[in-house]
Structure 1
């Protein structure tokens, strides 16, 4: 049994795989989810942008993003409710990074790996070229 402080109200609760807030805050989140879902289910609101949903429902953007990340809201049904890229903030449909940031990170990692390989080769070469001389003069 794992006791945690609720990230919303700081009260103690038993954290489960499915809940990261206490029962009272969970019920409040569920009510807010129902409000958001009712708003975006209307045909005229299905293409609403995140800020429009926030303004219309009064639900915080972070909570709506949580609904998307946990799969409660499917972006496939509501295409303009993307989540921000964790590096640049661009609206994305899934994951943590947009393709541009992901490609940039891959490139940086490849450069780092290439530099590491080069450094290893230089160190191996230097070991082969090191000569030791035995000193016969004991003095």
Structure 2
């Protein structure tokens, strides 16, 4: 397998990549900054992006990056973050619900339909379960 090298989008260093757009050092720094933002938001849950940036000394662009990734969510869609397709205000991610549903429908209509489900796949689904109890739920209000 050939090694894949990229230039870090943040510091400009060349690094061996496994798909990330940032080098391991920048990823570690970003995680540290995310923890700082998260701690600040625990103490100030209704803080604006501008306030978080000012008080933590973390660039608004990085906070926007975390919002786009869906790692953070705004309390209200105030226009700071907008849908990349239609421009509607959103609280997290890249697309509004309407555009996301439209994209999912479009992808579903072009992907081949699976009419035949073999017995192993059916048994795997049964063993994995389905529903809300199978998902990890995190309560951000309770901290250890």
TM-score range, shorter chain: 0.5 to 0.7
1:48 matched residue in structure 2: 47
Structure number, greater radius of gyration: 1
Q: How many residues align?
A: 97
Distance 2:54 2:85 in 1: 25
Q: Unaligned stretches of 5+ in structure 1?
A: 103-139
2:33 matched residue in structure 1: 32
Higher helix proportion, which one? Answer: 1
8 A contact 2:67–2:93 mirrored in 1: no
The change in CA–CA distance for 1:80 and 1:38 in structure 2 (over 3 A counts) is farther
* Residue 75 of structure 2 is aligned to residue 79 of structure 1: yes
Q: Unaligned stretches of 5+ in structure 2?
A: 100-144
2:132 matched residue in structure 1: none
Secondary structure, counterpart of 1:9 in structure 2: coil
Superposition deviation, residue 8 in structure 1: 0.8
Which is bigger in relative contact order (C-alpha 8 A, separation at least 6)? Answer: 1
Q: 1:86-97 to 2 correspondence within 5 Å?
A: 86=84, 91-96=89-94
Tell me the TM-score normalized by structure 1: 0.55
8 A contact 1:6–1:12 mirrored in 2: yes
* Residue 9 of structure 2 is aligned to residue 7 of structure 1: yes
